[in-house]
C-alpha cells in the first residue's frame, strides 16, 4: 500500500506535466492552423479573453456561496489589473511569434519559463541563492542549460534534410532568407512572452497570498484583460470581416483557448 502511494506521488505529477505540455502544444498548433486560414492574432486574443471571462463568470456564479469577491482595496486590484495586462501582452507576443515561426519552436522555448521564473524570484528576493545547496546548484545549472538551448534552437539553422532542384533553389533564395528572419523574430517574441509569463507567475504568487481564491482572481484578471484587449484589438483590426470566424479550425482554436485559459490568467 505504501509503495502504491509512493508510485502515485511520483507518476501523477509527471502525467499532469505531460498533459499540460500536450495541451499547450495543441493550442499552438490550432492557432497556427487558424492563422493559415487568415485569422489575426489580435482577433484570436480578444475572443479568447472574452469567452474565458464569460466562462469564469459563470463558474463564479455557480459557486457563489463559496466564492467571496475581494474587498475593494487598491493594492489587490492593482496587482490583479497588472496580471490582466501582462496576460494580454504575453498572449500577443506568443501568438505573433507562433504565426511567424512554428508551434514546435514555441513549445521548445516554453522550457525557459522555469528558468526565467527562478531568475525573477532571485531578483525580487523571493528566493535566496545558496550556492552550497545541491537543489540551488541544480536550479542554476538548469537555468543556464535552458537559456543556452533556447539560443541554439532560435539562432542555429541546420542542414537541409531534403535538397531541392537547382531551378527551384535559384528561384527562391529570398523566400528562405525571409523565412529564416521570421523564425528568429518569432523566437524572440516567444521568449519575451515566456518572460512576461514568468513575471506574471511572480505577481500571481503575491496575489494568492493576499487573497487565496483562484476562481475570483482568474475572473478579475480575465475581466481586466478583456477590458484592455478589446479596444486595442478593435483598433488594430477595424475591418469587421476579420472578426468573423469563417473556418471551423478558427472556432475550435478559440474554444480550445478557453480550456487552456489558466496558463495565461
Largest CA distance in the chain: 70
pLDDT higher than threshold 80 for residue 187: yes
Question: What is the mean pLDDT of the segment spanning 95-121?
Answer: 87
- Which is more confidently placed, 27 or 171? 27
pLDDT higher than threshold 60 for residue 178: no
Contacting residues for 20 by C-beta, under 8 A, at least 6 apart: 263
According to the model, what pLDDT value does residue 72 have? 62
Question: What is the mean pLDDT of the segment spanning 43-55?
Answer: 91
Return the domain boundaries, the chain. Answer: 28-158+166-263
The 8-class DSSP code of residue 126 comes to: S
Structure confidence at residue 260 as a pLDDT band (50, 70, 90):
low
Structure confidence at residue 227 as a pLDDT band (50, 70, 90):
very high
According to the model, what pLDDT value does residue 19 have? 77
191 neighbors 150 (Cβ within 8 angstroms): yes
Strand (E) positions, the chain? Answer: none
Query: How far is residue 79's CA from residue 249's CA, in Å, rounded to a whole number?
Result: 35
Structure confidence at residue 199 as a pLDDT band (50, 70, 90):
very high
Contacting residues for 94 by C-beta, under 8 A, at least 6 apart: 106, 189, 190, 193, 194
50 neighbors 230 (Cβ within 8 angstroms): yes
Percentage with pLDDT > 70 across the chain: 80
Question: What is the mean pLDDT of the segment spanning 74-101?
Answer: 92
Question: What is the mean pLDDT of the segment spanning 32-37?
Answer: 89
- Which is more confidently placed, 67 or 124? 124
- Written as nine digits, the cell of 232 is 486595442
pLDDT higher than threshold 60 for residue 263: no
Alpha carbon distance, N-terminus to C-terminus of the chain = 38
Structure confidence at residue 169 as a pLDDT band (50, 70, 90):
very low
Average pLDDT for the chain = 81
- Which is more confidently placed, 166 or 261? 261
Amino acid at each position: 500500500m505504501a509503495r502504491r502511494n509512493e508510485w502515485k506521488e511520483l507518476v501523477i505529477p509527471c502525467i499532469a506535466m505531460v498533459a499540460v505540455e500536450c495541451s499547450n502544444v495543441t493550442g499552438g498548433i490550432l492557432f497556427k492552423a487558424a492563422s493559415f486560414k487568415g485569422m489575426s492574432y489580435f482577433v484570436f486574443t480578444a475572443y479568447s479573453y472574452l469567452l474565458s471571462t464569460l466562462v469564469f463568470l459563470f463558474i463564479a456564479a455557480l459557486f457563489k456561496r463559496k466564492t467571496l469577491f475581494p474587498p475593494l482595496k487598491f493594492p489587490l486590484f492593482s496587482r490583479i489589473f497588472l496580471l490582466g495586462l501582462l496576460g494580454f501582452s504575453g498572449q500577443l507576443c506568443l501568438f505573433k511569434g507562433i504565426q511567424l515561426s512554428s508551434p514546435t519552436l514555441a513549445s521548445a522555448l516554453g522550457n525557459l519559463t522555469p528558468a526565467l521564473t527562478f531568475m525573477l524570484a532571485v531578483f525580487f528576493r523571493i528566493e535566496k541563492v545558496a550556492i552550497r545547496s545541491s537543489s540551488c546548484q541544480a536550479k542554476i545549472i538548469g537555468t543556464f542549460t535552458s537559456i543556452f538551448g533556447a539560443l541554439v534552437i532560435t539562432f542555429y539553422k541546420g542542414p537541409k534534410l531534403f535538397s531541392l532542384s537547382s531551378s527551384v533553389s535559384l528561384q527562391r533564395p529570398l523566400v528562405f532568407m525571409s523565412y529564416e528572419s521570421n523564425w528568429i523574430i518569432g523566437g524572440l517574441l516567444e521568449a519575451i512572452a515566456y518572460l512576461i509569463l514568468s513575471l506574471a507567475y511572480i505577481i500571481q504568487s503575491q496575489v494568492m497570498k493576499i487573497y487565496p481564491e483562484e476562481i475570483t482572481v482568474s475572473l478579475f484578471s480575465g475581466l481586466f484583460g478583456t477590458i484592455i484587449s478589446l479596444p486595442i484589438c478593435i483598433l488594430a483590426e477595424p475591418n469587421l470581416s476579420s472578426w468573423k470566424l469563417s473556418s471551423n479550425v478558427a472556432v475550435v482554436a478559440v474554444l480550445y483557448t478557453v480550456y487552456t485559459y489558466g496558463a495565461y490568467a
